[in-house]
Structure 1
Amino acid sequence: MSIESQHIQPCLWFDDQLEEAARFYTGIFPNSSIGHLSRYGEVGHGEPGTVMAGEFTLDGMTFRGINGGPEFRFSEAVSFSVTCRDQSEVDYYWDSLSDGGEESVCGWLKDRFGLSWQIVPTRLYELVTDPDPARAEAATAAMLGMRRIVVAELEAAADAAVRPPAG
């Protein structure tokens, strides 16, 4: 998706790691590339030749970024959710994005730049919205006790749920 066709784009504020982050992210996601990187010249606030701003595409979605300095940091108030087909995708994105970062709970992690990600298998959505409330509740309870989401454990919890007798 080109910048012209993507009407709304996330813009990420880095201290001075935009180029490093763009290389890190594009190395993880398919259909990704680094676009134009604007560099400081002799005039400006940054060291000449260092990246001031730029864009990169992750799996077809274009992001803008700036090296704005240390004034602002990422927080969990904004995160990016990666929907995964199966456990192998969950494991790939979890291991790749958490490398140098930190694991949190319920499928959340922070990468080495402090950006929050949610690594979510589609099966989680299916189980927590199961028409049987006991199964949905059991899957939700299992998810709340996890760091990385493990599909087999979600399914086992849902399958073990006992439906209360009617009436």
Structure 2
Amino acid sequence: MALLTVFLTGGQAEEMANYYANVFPDGEVTDIFRTPGPDGDDMVVTASIRVNDTPILLINGPQHTPNESCSQMINCPTQEEVDHFWNHFVGDGGEEGMCGWCKDKFGFSWQVIPAGFMDCMSDPDPVRAGKAFQAMMTMKKLDIDALKAAMDS
């Protein structure tokens, strides 16, 4: 069985496909499905992309407002990669949230997580884990070095 991530885009499928293919170093647009529109011009129905060997389908559908009840998590191996994604999503018209959450310019939510984050949160010493958690609660973009320093304080 395979799972497919689907975004209902409210008419921005092709723009989103090109944007994500640019933001993700290994992203690529794999298909744009067009059909004749009511005025005779071709219209985009779906756009398909692949990111890190994961297929994503972007469907042009009715306008809607995305919310945080559904998000994508990016586990980044380095702080530099956290910075890359955060700076693109927020800097290109998105918005910062708390605790590693942000929205891209299309309103979709992302959790940008540095390597080692889950180890900090699940440290076997509850005092250290609590310190990491409290530090995280003050952060927008997560900083793994600051989390580790908080644990050791």
Same fold (TM over 0.5): yes
Q: Which runs of 5+ in 1 are unaligned?
A: 1-5, 161-167
Matched residue of 1:138: which SS? helix
TM-score normalized by structure 2? 0.93
Give the 3-state SS of the residue equivalent to 1:50 in structure 2. Answer: strand
Give the conservation status (yes or no) of the 8 Å contact 1:127–1:154: yes
What is the Cα deviation at residue 42 of structure 1? 4.3
Q: 2:94 aligns with which of 101, 112, 119?
A: 101
For 1:81 and 1:23, how far apart are their aligned partners in 2? 20
> Paired residue for 2:9, among 5, 11, 14?
14
Unpaired runs of 5+ in structure 2? none
TM-score (norm 1): 0.85
Question: CA–CA distance in 2 between the matches of 1:23 and 1:29?
Answer: 10
Structure number having the greater strand percentage: 2
Question: Do the aligned residues in 2 keep the contact of 1:53 with 1:64 (CA within 8 Å)?
Answer: yes
Report Cα offsets for 1:65-123 as digits up to 9, x if no partner.
111021x2211000000001121111111111222110000000000001100000122
- The answer for the alignment partner of 1:83 in structure 2 is 75
The correspondence of residues 1-167 of structure 1 with structure 2, limited to 5 A, is: 7-43=2-38, 48-70=41-63, 72-98=64-90, 99-160=92-153
Q: Which entry has the higher C-alpha Rg, 1 or 2?
A: 1
How much does 1:47 deviate?
7.0
State, as a whole percentage, how many aligned pairs show the same letter: 33
Aligned mates of 1:11, 1:28 — CA distance in 2:
18
How many equivalent pairs are there? 152
